[in-house]
Chains A and B, each alone.
Chain A
């Protein structure tokens, strides 16, 4: 089905050949290395931002409790 876009490549689009898709015609390391690092970096950033909020709230509660005890 459909017309071929650029010669014999893009086979996975017609046949859904996942092996060929992940091989990226020999450029798998470069393509997935780029996207993989981006996903990793974004995931780490989201975790760090969440942890920072938890830590900040914990510190604020501790500060308030200490003030309450001394008062």
Chain B
């Protein structure tokens, strides 16, 4: 049986598919968040040096990882849109950006609230922290640039360039703790293994997967609105039951 995968790269079919998929990501996300928080707070032991403050790790590490991955995904979609001129890719880049910015913000916020009790400072101009702050500004710059250009196709192209150039910042964030002498510590989980308690690893992993599922659900939902806004004058949009329906009058 041949499945035409390219069918789903058309906004028309993707709109319907995304709508069906959202609950399958949203509900497991909520359940996994609950499991991760339960393990993180009720199963994982107290840290010997950081006491209970270390529990910020179950939020800080997954959101930081996501903030970097989402940027690469956004830049990847933007690049596809630029090279192949595919509308849906550009719409997806636009849909990912706000969520990426939120994850960068939570990463910085939880980092500041962790830095204060452990380092004695909310903020230091360390390479890791500074490059993550630049990541947040890149997201905001992308959103602002896209919003400032009236013609959506021109906005796609201009903001794609910004996204692609800015992606050089992601490896800088990732390797900053190796390249420079930073206050921020390096990874505890390495390819060679980890000294972390198994329950701590489980909690972090559960929250990480929950974050991924949340991101997929919320991005698909936002993409559906973007598709409707940008395809507003097409026949298929006007024939959608949710557009045809008129509960307010008649």
* Residues of chain A whose beta carbon lies under 8 Å from any beta carbon of chain B: 5-7, 9-10, 12-13, 21, 24-27, 29-31, 33-35, 37-38, 41-42, 45-46, 49-50, 52-53, 56-57, 59-61, 63-65
B54 to chain A, nearest CB (A): 9
Q: Could you say which interface size class chain B belongs to?
A: 35 or more
Asked whether A30 lies within 8 Å of B114 as measured between CB atoms, the reply is: yes
Asked whether B117 lies within 8 Å of A27 as measured between CB atoms, the reply is: yes
Q: Kindly state the separation between the CA atoms of A50 and B225 in the bound complex, as whole angstroms.
A: 9
The answer to whether the Cβ of B87 comes within 8 Å of any Cβ in the partner chain is: no
- Ranked nearest first, the 9 interchain pairs of A and B with the lowest CB-CB distance are A5-B45, A9-B46, A34-B110, A27-B53, A24-B52, A25-B52, A30-B113, A6-B45, A6-B46
Q: Kindly state the separation between the CA atoms of A63 and B234 in the bound complex, as whole angstroms.
A: 12
Q: Which of B48, B218, B229 contacts A6 (CB 8 A)?
A: B48
Q: Kindly state the separation between the CA atoms of A5 and B63 in the bound complex, as whole angstroms.
A: 28
* Residues of chain B whose beta carbon lies under 8 Å from any beta carbon of chain A: 37, 41-42, 45-48, 51-53, 55-56, 59-60, 63, 98-99, 102, 105-106, 109-110, 113-114, 116-117, 214, 218, 221-222, 224-225, 228-229, 232, 237-238, 242-243, 246
Q: List 13 A-B contacts (CB under 8 A).
A: A6-B46, A24-B53, A29-B113, A30-B56, A31-B52, A34-B59, A35-B37, A41-B106, A49-B218, A56-B225, A56-B229, A57-B228, A59-B232
- With both beta carbons as reference points, the residue of chain B lying nearest to A8 in the complex is identified as B46
Of the candidates A13, A49, A63, the one having the most CB atoms from chain B within 10 angstroms of its own CB is A49
Q: Which of A9, A27, A45 contacts B218 (CB 8 A)?
A: A45
With A27-B52, A49-B218 already in contact, the answer to whether A61 and B228 are too (CB < 8 A) is no
Which residues of B lie under 8 Å from residue A34 when comparing CB positions? 56, 59-60, 109-110, 113-114
Q: Which of A26, A50, A60 contacts B238 (CB 8 A)?
A: A60
- With both beta carbons as reference points, the residue of chain A lying nearest to B57 in the complex is identified as A34
Asked whether A64 lies within 8 Å of B52 as measured between CB atoms, the reply is: no
- With both beta carbons as reference points, the residue of chain A lying nearest to B227 in the complex is identified as A56
Asked whether B218 lies within 8 Å of A46 as measured between CB atoms, the reply is: yes
Asked whether A37 lies within 8 Å of B228 as measured between CB atoms, the reply is: no
A54 to chain B, nearest CB (A): 9
Asked whether B102 lies within 8 Å of A61 as measured between CB atoms, the reply is: no
Q: Kindly state the separation between the CA atoms of A13 and B199 in the bound complex, as whole angstroms.
A: 14
With A30-B117, A34-B59, A60-B232 already in contact, the answer to whether A52 and B46 are too (CB < 8 A) is no
Asked whether B114 lies within 8 Å of A42 as measured between CB atoms, the reply is: no
Asked whether B110 lies within 8 Å of A37 as measured between CB atoms, the reply is: yes
Q: Kindly state the separation between the CA atoms of A42 and B91 in the bound complex, as whole angstroms.
A: 21
Asked whether A45 lies within 8 Å of B102 as measured between CB atoms, the reply is: yes
Q: Kindly state the separation between the CA atoms of A9 and B225 in the bound complex, as whole angstroms.
A: 49
Which residues of B lie under 8 Å from residue A42 when comparing CB positions? 102, 214
